[in-house]
């Protein structure tokens, strides 16, 4: 198996080459990193829809 981060290991799978996008080496749950992903401006869309002003510091 080969992950997108470059980590690889062997399994007893019937398929010889398995590629995955994310594994326990690079997944935020296992690494302790927290990332906030704003997909296509969803936060801004939510704020506009419900009239919530952004915090200005």
Residue 36 falls inside a structural domain: yes
Q: What is the pLDDT of residue 45?
A: 84
Q: What is the pLDDT of residue 2?
A: 92
Residue 7 falls inside a structural domain: yes
Residue 56 falls inside a structural domain: no
State the 10-residue block means of pLDDT for the chain, 57 residues long.
89 88 81 69 83 68
Range of the domain at 40: 2-50
Q: What is the pLDDT of residue 39?
A: 67
Q: What is the pLDDT of residue 44?
A: 82
Tell me the β-bridge partners of 19: 2
Q: How many structural domains compose the chain? A: 1
Residue 17 falls inside a structural domain: yes
Residue 35 falls inside a structural domain: yes
The string over 2-26, giving b where at least 16 C-beta atoms fall within 10 Å of a residue's C-beta and e elsewhere, is ebeeeeeeeeeeeeeeeeeeebeee
Helix (H, G, I), strand (E, B) or coil at 26: coil
Q: What is the pTM of this model?
A: 0.44
Residue 21 falls inside a structural domain: yes
Residue 27 falls inside a structural domain: yes
Residue 57 falls inside a structural domain: no
Q: What is the pLDDT of residue 48?
A: 86
Q: How far apart are CA 22 and CA 29, in angstroms?
A: 11
């Amino acid at each position: 198996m080969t992950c997108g981060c470059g980590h690889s290991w062997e399994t007893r799978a019937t398929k010889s080459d398995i590629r995955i996008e994310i594994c326990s080496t690079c997944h935020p749950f296992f690494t302790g990193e927290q990332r906030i992903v704003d997909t296509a401006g969803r936060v801004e869309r939510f704020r506009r829809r419900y009239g919530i002003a952004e915090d200005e510091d």
